[in-house]
Structure 1
């Protein structure tokens, strides 16, 4: 199934936002969802609807975004799970 929303519009505009703040907001929304709705299917990501207040929602399909909204994919919300500390180079200090 295809989406009528271009993939480029689904990527956060990193040049317009503070990525650390937005990802932290998305994590808070996602973990709140997990606490309330454990056992449901994994969402695709989080939409930050109010960047200043950190309000948003978990989404299960690609959203159509308003200009001030940001979609944060679940991979960014969960963090770098594919890389562990033991995978670091032994040559780094």
Structure 2
């Protein structure tokens, strides 16, 4: 953000179902831009709905300020671990219910 780029992300955490796209996608447009956020040929809105919208051939491809790696932040890791724990508990409860029903 200090470099003048929007830096909005299509995914706020590593939890599945939290937005579309990939963790490393960040908006390549300048800060304060109008309209949708863009990572190369994909755009998203404030609700994180991602869709394919190729850049017109006459327009230059927006340059990414820097290439990012697909490494989660500590917060994203904590949220993903918590999400997986909840899903494991739900699966265990379903298995236990099936065993009792036999």
TM-score range, shorter chain: under 0.3
Higher helix share: 1
Higher strand share: 1
Q: Give the alignment's TM-score, normalised by structure 1.
A: 0.23
In our comparison, the structure showing a higher alpha carbon Rg is 2
- If asked which structure has higher relative contact order (CA below 8 Å, sep 6+), I would say 1
